[in-house]
Amino acid sequence: MRAGATDLPVLLPYRAPVPIAPTGLVAPVLLGGVTLATFAILFGASVALAQVAARPAGESAVAVLLRWAPLIFQGFLFNILISFLSMALGTVVGVLVGIAQVSLIAPLRKSAWGLTQFFRNAPWLVLLFYAMFLLPFEFRVFGVTIAFPAWVKAIIGLALPVAANVSEIVRGGIRSIPSGQWESAEALAFTRRQTMWMIILPQAFKRMIPPWMNLYAILTMATTLISVVGIQDGLTITRAALVAESRPELMIPMYLLLLLMFFAYCYPIARATLALERRFNVKA
């Protein structure tokens, strides 16, 4: 049959759709730029509005924001610190639980599965409350008292759901490796442990990185939950600043300042995740 002698779409030669958006590196940069500009305009507008709405007209809104910005930024850095530490703790625990989820020992596998499901499907704030109020404020080991401050408990509280999510990421990554890999490793007399660590996990690792980064970005935003249980983080400081200034019209720009900090931190992570996903998809 001659090409063109048919109007059935499946019989026509394949033509890749024309890209309607800029591709390559341009697209993310452009998109990020637009989003950032939107934020900046919103921020500027809210500051201007606050300036106009002030009754009686007091100190300039910009001056107030500038005064508080370093402190809010410090609080934000504390959020980042908490996110690092809970991610680290959650990842270590989650990897072990995730591997246990594919164990051949049924009790181990089932309890790992149960733990994962429980903490994955629980509200983060509730888990945080449990960690805050159930853990003691100090430990006594061999007569030595070790303080257990609130921020450490908060890290544990946030690490619980992180560990459960990492566990699922690890399990999914391991399961995504074709069974032929297990089979050929077994035929070469590798033990199960060797197969896992030398053959399966190195391949699965690549596939786990994007969802793991995604989880980290979510965790970072969730760290503001700790302000609810009375820890001085970025959100607590912002709220305190608003109370101290007692200028309700500053509420929008002040919170927007904090939002901007989180956005500037999390957005690149999200872009990098997408880029990695795309790269790993191409090089299967």
Partner 1 sequence: MANRHQLGEPVVVVAGVEKSFGAFAVLKDVSLTVRRGETVCIIGPSGSGKSTLLRCINGLVPISQGSITVAGREVNDRQLDKLALRRDVGIVFQQYNLFPHKTALQNVMMAPIHVLKQNKAEVEERARRLLAKVGLSNKLASYPGELSGGQQQRVAIARSLAMNPKVMLFDEVTAALDPETKKEVLVTIQDLAAEGMTCILVTHEMGFAREVADHVYFTDGGLIVEHAPPAELFGAPKEERTRAFLDKVL
Residue 94 sits at the vertex; the CA angle it makes with 93 and 97, to the nearest 5 degrees, is 90
Cα distances (angstroms) measured from residue 176 to each of 26, 86, 120, 182, 208? 32, 27, 20, 12, 10
Nearest distance from residue 174's CB to partner 1, in Å? 14
Task: List the one residue from 73, 85, 109, 203 that touches partner 1 (CB under 8 A).
Answer: 203
User: Using the 8-state DSSP alphabet, how is residue 11 labeled?
Assistant: G
How far is 134 from 216, CA to CA, in rounded Å?
25
User: In sequence order, which ranges of the chain are alpha helices (DSSP H)?
Assistant: 26-53, 61-100, 106-120, 124-134, 150-175, 179-187, 192-194, 201-222, 234-245, 251-282
Work out whether 282 is an interface residue with partner 1 (CB under 8 A): no
Q: Is residue 184 near partner 1 by the rule CB under 8 A?
A: yes
Rule CB under 8 A: choose which of 181, 228, 242, 255 binds partner 1: 181
Q: Are 257 and 238 in contact (CB under 8 A)?
A: yes
Out of 34, 77, 198, 264, the residue judged to bind partner 1 by CB under 8 A:
198
Please report where in the chains the tokens 């509280």 appear, as a residue.
157
Query: Please, what's the largest Cα pairwise distance for the chain?
Result: 90
Footprint on residues 20-79 left by partner 1 (CB under 8 A): none
> Around Cβ 115, how many Cβ atoms within 10 Å?
18
What is the Cα–Cα distance from 116 to 136, expressed in whole angstroms?
Answer: 24
CB of 99 to partner 1, least distance (A): 18
Listed ranges 6-14, 81-89, 109-117, 188-196: which one lies at the site for partner 1 (CB under 8 A): 188-196
The gap between the terminal CA atoms of the chain, to the nearest Å, is 36
Only one of the segments 63-71, 93-101, 174-182, 255-263 lies at the binding site for partner 1 (rule: CB under 8 A); that segment is 174-182
Contacts (CB under 8 A) with partner 1, residues 91-110: none
Q: How far is the CB of 150 from partner 1 (least distance, A)?
A: 44
Quote the least distance from Cβ 284 to partner 1, whole Å. Answer: 8
**Dihedral sign of CA atoms 21, 27, 30, 34 in order:** positive
∠ at Cα 35 (214, 282), nearest 5°? 45
Q: Which is nearer to partner 1, 55 or 283 (CB)?
A: 283
Q: Output the smallest distance, CB 209 to partner 1, in A.
A: 14
By the rule CB under 8 A, 186 interacts with partner 1: yes
**Chosen residue from 108, 125, 199, 270 binding partner 1 by CB under 8 A:** 199
Q: Does 284 engage in binding with partner 1 (CB under 8 A)?
A: yes
From the CB of 173, what's the least distance to partner 1, in Å? 13
What is the nearest approach in angstroms of partner 1 to the Cβ of residue 215?
Answer: 24
Q: Which is nearer to partner 1, 120 or 192 (CB)?
A: 192
Nearest approach, Cβ of residue 187 and partner 1 (Å): 5
Using CB under 8 A as the binding rule, whether residue 189 contacts partner 1 is answered as: yes
Give the interface with partner 1 as residue ranges (CB under 8 A). Answer: 178, 180-181, 183-190, 194, 198-199, 202-203, 283-284
